[in-house]
Amino acid sequence: MQTKVKLQAVLAIFATTLFWGLSYSSTKVLLDSLLPEQIAFYRLLIASAALGLLFVIAKKKPVHKKDLLRVAAGGFCGNFIYFLFENNGLRFTTAGMGSLIIATIPVLNVLAGAILFKEKHSPQRWLGVLFSFIGVYLLIRSGSDGNLSLTSLKGNLLVFGAACTWVIYTRLNEPLLRNYDSIVVNFYQAVVGMVVLGFSVLPQGADAALLQGKVAANLLYLGLFCSAAAYYLYLYALQELGTAVVTSFINLIPVFGVLGGAILLKEAVAAGQLLGGAIVIVGVSLVTMTEKVKTNYVQKAN
């Protein structure tokens, strides 16, 4: 049974990275019509509606008062600050460089766990993290011109802030999953992000003519698949596999991002990117095959 549950969790996080990897193509399309903050707001508005419906249908219990602050903090980090940093950062740096910086999340997470939580990692897991990072470097480097300006540096720092924020988001949510399932946590946090973003987006108004056709289709994809479904699957996998394994899969996002760009946006794919993608998969496999990291948190029983 344990093997079956682990397989389900691995498939869940794999699907998550697929959805998020393809989200780069959708976001590129939407940036032609909407501001970064608007994209994030409408995405979370759709996700909140979908998750709210699931919350009611499944008759989930509300979050206890004692956990509301942690839930709100997770939503603020993962659904507001993260999008604020990443979407605005990508306006000043290349998508390739931004993806490379986001791919440092597993390294940042392992370092945070080792320094702050005294977690012990096997040599195999450290090797997997290293392979993943090298693979992503090759993947992105092959499509980058290598130029650096003050403008791109600003973008790189913003995206790095997003990577750090995601580690905080993951660590905040891990103990919550002792008592709540993914639907509950995801719903509350999507609402938090939507409300905070609403203060800056709603006063600007919205052009209804823009919210149709290709724009509407991409917003629905981001809201339903990349926020509602993917965040639910991410938190489920986090519950079953732990932070080290789950965050290692972040490195697959640029792989799917490159494939999505090639198929959907007709972007060229270099041989170095294919090699980098293969190395990423090897690295993720090394991390996944190790035992779950022991933390101070007691995981929810199934």
Identify which of 62-76, 173-187, 191-205, 285-299 has the greatest average pLDDT: 62-76
Decide: helix, strand or coil at residue 57: helix
Measured distance CA(27)–CA(46) in Å, rounded? 15
* Integer Rg of the chain from CA: 19
Report, as an integer, the average pLDDT of 191-218.
84
Predicted confidence at residue 32, as pLDDT, reads 82
Predicted confidence at residue 18, as pLDDT, reads 93
How many residues are given for the chain?
302
Q: How confident is the model at residue 222 (pLDDT cuts 50, 70, 90)?
A: very high
Query: From residue 285, how far is each of 68, 121, 174, 259 by CA, in Å?
Result: 36, 15, 22, 20
Q: How confident is the model at residue 267 (pLDDT cuts 50, 70, 90)?
A: low
Report, as an integer, the average pLDDT of 188-192.
95
Contacts of 163 (CB under 8 A, 6+ apart): 101, 102, 104, 105, 108
Report, as an integer, the average pLDDT of 113-121.
75
Predicted confidence at residue 206, as pLDDT, reads 66
Q: Give per-residue pLDDT as tens, 9-57.
A: 999 999 999 998 888 788 878 888 888 899 999 999 999 999 999 899 9
Its pTM stands at: 0.76
What separation, in Å, do the N-terminal and C-terminal C-alpha atoms of the chain show?
A: 11
Contacts of 268 (CB under 8 A, 6+ apart): 262
